[in-house]
């Protein structure tokens, strides 16, 4: 079993944000307004965005949708980023090479990159999320059953919290490792998702 996940990486190699949205699959990782907001807020401290692909071995590389997304984000930011892609046993770095809009090079991640402590940490967590997803404990609740602080605590423990409406339909999910910072972040996000999906 595999499912795509991603993470936003800072210049020091630490993770700024884990991206595990509702609707992702083994071959699709949807974006979100929240992700773009976080990218923009951290634009001066961005190394890049990493995500997973299914499978293993060499031959790993970006899809056409990946390339067009990379380009659009870089144009929006006015700067170039690095776009790591991982599978079960390989990591590549995707970088703009030019001169044309969609000219990106793919290279195997060098040993010095893979040996950095922060890099090893996010690669390990990203692989766990992407290829061991069946081992992640899911906690299903209704809105207001748990405080954002408690939801954050559960996510930091590697658990996924799924918030449902009164009919049991998933409205939004958080975690693992990716929790709302406070009530103002948590409830507006929930309400936006709720209003889109209906009761």
In 3D, which of 89, 92, 101, 183 has the Cα closest to residue 143? 183
Give the residue ranges of the chain where pLDDT is below 70. 1, 26, 132-136, 156, 158, 167-199
Q: How far apart (Å, rounded) are the C-alpha atoms in residues 40 and 109?
A: 26
- Could you read off the pLDDT of 135-163 as tens digits, one per residue? 567 777 777 777 777 777 777 676 777 77
Can you count the helices (H) and strands (E) in the chain? 6, 9
pLDDT at res. 144: 73
pLDDT at res. 182: 45
In 3D, which of 194, 195, 159 has the Cα closest to residue 174? 159
State the residue for tokens 């893979």. Answer: 114
In 3D, which of 136, 108, 111 has the Cα closest to residue 5? 136
- pTM, two decimal places: 0.68
pLDDT at res. 181: 47
């Amino acid at each position: 079993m595999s499912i795509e996940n991603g993470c936003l990486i800072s210049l020091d190699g630490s993770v700024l944000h884990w991206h595990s949205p509702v609707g992702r699959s083994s071959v699709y990782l949807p974006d979100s307004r929240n992700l773009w907001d976080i990218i923009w807020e951290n634009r001066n401290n961005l190394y890049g965005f990493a995500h997973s692909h299914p499978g293993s071995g060499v031959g790993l590389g970006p899809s056409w949708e990946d390339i067009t997304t990379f380009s659009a984000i870089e144009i929006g930011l006015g700067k170039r980023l690095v776009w790591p892609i991982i599978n079960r046993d390989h990591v590549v770095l995707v970088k703009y090479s030019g001169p044309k809009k969609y000219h990106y090079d793919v290279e195997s991640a060098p040993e010095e990159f893979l040996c950095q402590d922060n890099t090893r940490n996010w690669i390990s967590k990203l692989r766990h999320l992407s290829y061991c997803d069946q081992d992640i404990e899911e906690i299903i609740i209704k809105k207001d059953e748990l405080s954002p602080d408690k939801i954050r605590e559960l996510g930091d423990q590697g658990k996924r919290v799924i918030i449902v409406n009164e009919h049991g339909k998933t409205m939004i999910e958080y975690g693992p490792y990716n929790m709302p910072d406070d009530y103002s972040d948590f409830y507006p996000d929930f309400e936006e998702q709720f209003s889109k999906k209906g009761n």
